[in-house]
Structure 1
Amino acid sequence: MRKQKCGVIIIAAGYSSRMDGFKPLLKFGRQTAVERVVALYQQAGVDQIILVLGHREDQIRPYFDNQPLDVVVNENFAEGMYTSIITGVAHLNDEIEAFFIHPVDIPLVKRETVKELIAAPQQLSKGIIYPSFLGERGHPPLINIKYRSAILDNKQGGGLKRLLALYEADAADLPLIDEAILMDMDTRADYQALLIYDALEAPNLCECYAIWEKHKLPENIRRHCQKVKQTATDLVAQLIDKGETLNRPVLQAAALLHDLVKTEKNHAVKGGEILRDLGYPKVGAIIAVHMDILVDADTAITESEILYLADKLVKNDQLIDLAIRKEMVLNTYHDNPEALKKITRRYHNAEIILQKIQRIIG
């Protein structure tokens, strides 16, 4: 099926009046916020990028010299964001079939989110697609070009949200695993929260729950994963107190998601692939080895080893002694030599990990 031609209008024209700092040029790593948003759409492969500037446009423009995007200036930016939307919409190329509206103060939307939105109209057959996270709509909406005239001719006031509400019958929500669609930066505290979020190498707690929902994880597996997370968190806290360097958010996400496709064959490997595809390679690598792992008794403890042990210490949603759990499993498969061989190896590895932890924490 042919991919429709999409554009994006990035709004970076306002005063940033509530922020202690100029929003477009706030830094996220080596990039400014406006560079981050532009790069998002370049990587997602949209057909036209329109950057609307206004306040301090002379400071933003040099960041995009010789880049393939359309930089336009809204001379009326002081009259509000809607004037910048009109400026951008008026510059859309004739071949564009749908377009995003993306304020620069929502800078951490994921590339996978944009790609899913681009594909959504063919699946949902609607003219306005809103990204949503756990039932709440966010940015950027994807709007069919048929609403171009309505936006340009709008005289009712109230901004884009009020205008699009008139066409709710032609709108749909697309559930996504991306809390960043809701995260703007109106204040310095918002900016600090975004910096923390950006530094994560794992889905946060709410995003883990959204992944559960997407994969319709059964309630009993959710309870098991919660208990494994609690067990792993307790272990990692003690290890960090003893000076070990471990990535707590990555481990917690892996614990919550390790049985994401429990009912499928090779569920550990498949679960790891899902998280890698979502953009979390470290989480995926830990999940992929939670059933079988290579352990070296003389190396530093790892997040993968902690999850492996925590999973063995939880039966259903209850803690259980490792030796008792081993005996129960061996008894269950006592007449299956091949299974006994695997079980013995797996629990031997768990025992080595437990010994490594005990040496560290006492």
Structure 2
Amino acid sequence: MTTFPSSQGTFPAAPAAVLLAGGFSSRMGRCKLLLELGGISALAQAVTRLRAAGVENVVIVTGHWRQEVEAEAARLGARTAHNDRYEEGMFSSVQTGAAALPEETGAFFLLPGDTPLVKPVTYRALLAAFADATHRAGTPLESLSLVVHPLFAGERGHPPLLAGPLRKAILARTNGTLRDVLDGADVQTCSVPDASVLLDMDTPEDYRRLAAYALRESAPTDEECEALWNVADTPERVRIHCRTVAAVATRLGEALAASGVPLDLPLLRSAALLHDVQRLEKHHAEAGAAFLRAHGYGAVAALTAVHMELPASLPPVLDEANLLYLADKLVDDHRVVSLKTRIAGLETKYQGDPKALRRGRERLERASSVARLLEATLGKSPEDLLAPLETPENAPKEPGGA
């Protein structure tokens, strides 16, 4: 299994994609490729993300909803190939798409049109995994039989990336399914922190779930945060600290939101879970922010970058950055504590280091100013709001340095 590799090989020359849009959408009751996701059509989402990953040669295979899909494809400047055998099932559309690809295609994605929210970074990770696998195998491209699937939370998703030579095997098959073609292939997986590889939209309920995901996509889900920890090899002790900070930030944020303070609670929670994702790195706040930006989470990165020390230009207001900063200062390792306790701890910890003590006091005074503003708004101190909050069951017994 490959996990977000740094390629030692070469990316496939001019990678392509076959986007399967030939189905009936019978359970949806209308053409699902034209449904809106995040302000644009599902088809536009899929094509835009592929292009953002450097995949310019995208073939959209049409079928039952030919006119509707072709019109949207023309608006997007994408080419189509019509499958006049679409009633025979998905493999006929796979063959139509494969036939429309150039013979020199080095590798191509097979993307079901109802899995449109795969992130550009995921496509790039699959291409990198493909390059690494070909480098290790040392197999000539013309005889390569490689398939790389994305893997999220241990479950295989879409789209697979197929070596170019498998195109001929697909076209030569007169019956059966794609699985029959790939039975003898070298099948590998690439773990990605992208839940969308498992999200399709066969039914209206599926669509509502995908639409909700699209609206909050700038903030990874808890499961995606866990996957990002895995990519970064974040130690378990640090993860426990982050879960505790997230519980504190969520409790404070929910209380403020209930009183009318406008907050992006999913963004706040994600940033709290990931603020120490690179805790073992030097200058870990900056390293963590760079890591998150590389994975497409710029808004989360902007918050985690300042969780250690807020810039003087940012006033103490009740926004996501200040709440994350306060929540982090209310957690000592895995324990929820008062700011007074943290200040007393500083006196002991840095009694021989006046410079470090002064800097620590300044940080906690900034947190105290946010706490006072919160108390003035809600009529309760953070300690009052957090009193019932319990330490995670799997927290270590001895305090550490997270």
**TM-score scaled by structure 1?**
0.95
Q: Cα deviation per residue 1:243-268 (whole Å; 9 max; x = unaligned)?
A: 10101111111111111111122111
2:291 to 265, 271, 274: 274
Match of 1:102 in 2: 111
Go from structure 1 to structure 2 and tell me whether the alpha carbon gap of 1:66 and 1:258 turns closer, same or farther (over 3 Å shift).
closer
Native 8 Å contact 1:129 1:171 kept in 2 = yes
Match of 2:171 in 1: 152
Go from structure 1 to structure 2 and tell me whether the alpha carbon gap of 1:349 and 1:214 turns closer, same or farther (over 3 Å shift).
same
The letter for the 2-side match of 1:251 is L
Whole-Å separation in 1 of the counterparts to 2:378 and 2:314: 15
Whole-Å separation in 2 of the counterparts to 1:165 and 1:236: 51
The letter for the 1-side match of 2:168 is S
Whole-Å separation in 2 of the counterparts to 1:263 and 1:224: 13
Native 8 Å contact 1:128 1:141 kept in 2 = yes
What SS does the aligned partner of 2:165 have? helix
Residue 327 of structure 2 is aligned to residue 304 of structure 1: no
Native 8 Å contact 1:9 1:102 kept in 2 = yes
Segments of structure 2 that go 5 or more residues without pairing to the other structure are 1-8, 138-145, 380-402
Match of 2:206 in 1: 190
| Cα deviation, residue 156, structure 1 | 5.1
| Alignment RMSD (CA, Å) | 1.8
2:54 to 33, 45, 63: 45
What SS does the aligned partner of 1:351 have? helix
Whole-Å separation in 1 of the counterparts to 2:28 and 2:351: 66
Whole-Å separation in 1 of the counterparts to 2:173 and 2:152: 29
Matches within 5 A, 1:22-171: 22-65=31-74, 69-125=78-134, 127-155=146-174, 157=176, 159-167=177-185, 170-171=186-187
Segments of structure 1 that go 5 or more residues without pairing to the other structure are none
Whole-Å separation in 1 of the counterparts to 2:35 and 2:289: 34
Aligned pairs, number: 359
Which range moves more in the overlay, 228-237 or 118-127? 118-127
The letter for the 2-side match of 1:16 is S
Match of 2:12 in 1: 4
Whole-Å separation in 1 of the counterparts to 2:182 and 2:286: 43
Match of 2:190 in 1: 174
Whole-Å separation in 2 of the counterparts to 1:297 and 1:205: 28
Match of 1:242 in 2: 259
Whole-Å separation in 2 of the counterparts to 1:79 and 1:225: 51
The letter for the 1-side match of 2:181 is L
Native 8 Å contact 2:106 2:163 kept in 1 = yes
| Cα deviation, residue 4, structure 1 | 1.6
Whole-Å separation in 1 of the counterparts to 2:256 and 2:224: 26
| Cα deviation, residue 154, structure 1 | 2.4
Go from structure 1 to structure 2 and tell me whether the alpha carbon gap of 1:67 and 1:32 turns closer, same or farther (over 3 Å shift).
closer
The letter for the 2-side match of 1:177 is P
The letter for the 2-side match of 1:266 is H
Go from structure 1 to structure 2 and tell me whether the alpha carbon gap of 1:249 and 1:57 turns closer, same or farther (over 3 Å shift).
same
Whole-Å separation in 2 of the counterparts to 1:172 and 1:70: 30
| Cα deviation, residue 216, structure 1 | 1.4
The letter for the 2-side match of 1:20 is G
Native 8 Å contact 1:18 1:187 kept in 2 = yes
The letter for the 1-side match of 2:213 is Y
Identity %: 36
Go from structure 1 to structure 2 and tell me whether the alpha carbon gap of 1:298 and 1:29 turns closer, same or farther (over 3 Å shift).
closer
Whole-Å separation in 1 of the counterparts to 2:175 and 2:71: 36
The letter for the 2-side match of 1:333 is Y
Go from structure 1 to structure 2 and tell me whether the alpha carbon gap of 1:87 and 1:340 turns closer, same or farther (over 3 Å shift).
same
| Cα deviation, residue 95, structure 1 | 2.0
Q: Cα deviation per residue 1:171-222 (whole Å; 9 max; x = unaligned)?
A: 1100011100000001001100011100112111110000111111111111
Match of 1:335 in 2: 352
Match of 1:15 in 2: 24
Go from structure 1 to structure 2 and tell me whether the alpha carbon gap of 1:356 and 1:165 turns closer, same or farther (over 3 Å shift).
farther
